[in-house]
Amino acid sequence: MAAAVSNSQHQPWRVAVATGASRFSTGRCPVVVASAPVCARGCRTAGGVVLLPSWASRRTSSPRRHAVAAAKAGAASSLTDAVAYSARISTDMPLYEPPGVSFDEYLMDRARVFRAMFPDESRCQRLSDEEWRVRMLPLQFLLLTVHPVVVMQLRHRAGVLELRITEWELRGLERGYAPASFNLGVLGSLYADRSRGRRACRLKGHLEIGISCVLPPPMRLVPEAVLRGVAESVLRSLAERMKRDVDVGLIADFQRFRREKAAAAAATGKLNAGADRVA
């Protein structure tokens, strides 16, 4: 699409998570974890066997964009008060669109865009036209090492690429360190801003990562300020890593896309010229 996209139309998504909540909703039932691994579908493990509740196979027709605490702020919680941490990051860089080539057209090929953002195919599995399972790199949190596995969804709407996590699983947690309640949200958007004209086009994006959880007993011994500092540092590093993949991988692939379009146009021109001479 050639229509300009303004900042006022596409604000960064927000994840709203309140502390002190007893339940968390992401468009599915509350997540309660009994033992590791932690699974976003609410499954529990026993002797290596996954036990799924009766509602586990049902999926919502339109996943919600916001993760919101179900209990009112300040209300008493049936669990220990939850803690919430988040990190957000933006990208804003020049984007060159030569005549006949649109970044919007490039974004419509979600499979190609995903490969540019997550080039390691050994850690990715395509599930549908818009969803991929990704084994993310390990995250270090104090003395814990967590191996997140997420289902990443990409959607293209009106020139905007929307990214979100629809399911998640935490692997590698010891039984005593599995949180009693956990919620993870990753929301982002990416688009070409032509509000100042096509020649001044810029690539803009927003990404927010948020978690909320009820800390397991061993983690409650750590001072809150230390926990917050470490958690926000981990989330910020993850957000910066994803931003770097976009800034480097996506832009490089869009340059290849431009060259492919130019080569195809040149080949078409030669064929047309040859046909004219024959005629």
Domain boundaries, the chain: 24-278
Which pLDDT score, from 0 to 100, does residue 10 have?
42
Quick one: three-class SS letters along the chain? Answer: CCCCCCCCCCCCCCCCCCCCCCCEECCCCCCCCCCCCEECCCCEEECCEEECCCCCCCCCCCCCCCCEECCCCCCCCCCCCCEEEEEEEEEEEECCCCCCCCHHHHHCCHHHHHHHHCCCHHHEEECCCCEEEEECCCEEECCEEEEEEEEEEEEEECCEEEEEEEEEEEECCCHHHCCCEEEEEEEEEEEEECCCCHHHCEEEEEEEEEEEEECCHHHHHCCHHHHHHHHHHHHHHHHHHHHHHHHHHHHHHHHHHHHHHHHHHHHHHHHHHHHHHHC
Q: In the Cβ-directed half-sphere of 238, how many Cα atoms lie within 13 Å?
A: 26
pTM of the full predicted structure? 0.65
Q: What is the pLDDT along the chain (279 residues), one digit of tens a residue?
A: 434 344 434 433 333 333 333 333 333 333 333 333 444 444 433 333 333 332 233 333 333 333 322 222 233 333 446 888 899 999 999 999 988 889 999 999 999 999 999 989 999 999 999 999 999 888 877 777 888 899 999 999 989 999 999 998 888 877 777 777 788 889 999 999 999 888 899 999 999 999 888 888 888 888 889 988 988 988 888 888 888 888 889 999 999 999 998 888 777 766 555 555 555
Nearest to 208 by CA among 110, 66, 79, 113: 66
Give the residue carrying structure tokens 């992401």: 26
pLDDT given at position 76? 36
Superfamily of domain 24-278: Uncharacterised protein PF12723, DUF3809 (3.30.530.70)
- pLDDT on residue 58: 34
For residue 270, the model assigns a pLDDT of: 60
pLDDT at 279: 57
| Spatial distance between the Cα atoms of 208 and 124, rounded to a whole number of angstroms | 21
Residue 82 pLDDT: 82
Amino acid at 80: T
